[in-house]
Amino acid sequence: MDVTPHMLRHTFGKMLVDTGESLDRVAALMGHANLNTKARYTIPSVQDLEHAVEKLAWE
């Protein structure tokens, strides 16, 4: 798989959200004037969903 600048940018934004950074700060860091634009970084990946289920299974 080829890595593109867009993929790196998306990964950076997703990692900020995953670490709990506030959405307004993520939007500012990503250069988004509209907070709705950064919504794509909050969409859970398959791995995110699997992790959520695993947490329920072991707690």
Where along the chain do its domains lie? 5-58
Its pTM stands at: 0.64
pLDDT at residue 59, as a whole number: 54
For residue 40, give the nearest of 20, 21, 8, 17 by alpha carbon: 17
- Alpha carbons 34 and 53: distance in angstroms, whole number: 32
Q: What are the tens digits of pLDDT across the range 27-48? A: 888 887 776 666 777 788 898 8
